[in-house]
Amino acid sequence: MTAIDYDLEFLEDGRHIELISIGMVCDDGREYYAVNRDMPVRKIRKHQWLMKNVVPSLPKGQGDRRNHVPKSWLFDYADPVVKRRERIAEDVMDFIRTAGPDVQLWANYGAYDHVCLAQLWGRMIDLPEGVPMFTHDIQQERARLGLRWDELPQQESGEHNALADARHNQTVRRWLAEQEARTP
């Protein structure tokens, strides 16, 4: 079994889940991070929580480029991690398939993450071969082992950056596996 831990940042309005950014880390050491060039910028602007917690970690202009990034932009469109949604769908499919046929997807409170991930390719029936049809949930494993949510390892920094969150998910999932191994 090879696990991929992932996290998405998204805009969610009770009807739609729209991708902002995605971070993935694989047991084999590979990592992936992308920001959706096609995110609904106007809606995000009106969303206080996203503006405060998620937008600050999106790529900003740096060095010489700083002057070319208008203040009105939420992120630097020229940054290499910023990609079209279709391109992200291709990258993510390759990332998952490279992990092999017995890959597991893992996320934390991952129901919305799974739907937003799967919708990269359209409807449920459009899910590409080799992409798992469900995501294992850290919280379900935590409950199964009889642990409280506040007993899990805490994230030290980078919360709401999708890659930092995915790395932390990997830490927590591995910690849970250690707890289980210790249980007589």
Between 137 and 165, CB nearer to Mg ion: 165
Between 112 and 122, CB nearer to Mg ion: 112
For the bound state, the minimum distance from the C-beta of residue 85 to Mg ion, rounded and expressed in Å, comes to: 18
Question: In the bound complex, which residue of the shown chain has the CB atom lying closest to Mg ion?
Answer: 165
Binding site for Mg ion (CB under 5 A): 7, 165
Between 57 and 119, CB nearer to Mg ion: 57
> Whose CA is closest to 20, among 138, 166, 160?
160
For the bound state, the minimum distance from the C-beta of residue 151 to Mg ion, rounded and expressed in Å, comes to: 20
Between 51 and 124, CB nearer to Mg ion: 51
Between 7 and 137, CB nearer to Mg ion: 7
For the bound state, the minimum distance from the C-beta of residue 162 to Mg ion, rounded and expressed in Å, comes to: 5
For the bound state, the minimum distance from the C-beta of residue 68 to Mg ion, rounded and expressed in Å, comes to: 29
For the bound state, the minimum distance from the C-beta of residue 47 to Mg ion, rounded and expressed in Å, comes to: 15
Full DSSP string of the chain: -EEEEEEEEEEE-SS-EEEEEEEEEETTS-EEEEEETTS-HHHHHT-HHHHHHTGGGS----GGGGGGS-TT-SS-TTSTTEE-HHHHHHHHHHHHHHT-TTEEEEESS-HHHHHHHHGGGSSGGGPPTTS-SSEEEHHHHHHHTT--GGGSPPP-S-TT-HHHHHHHHHHHHHHHHHHHHH--
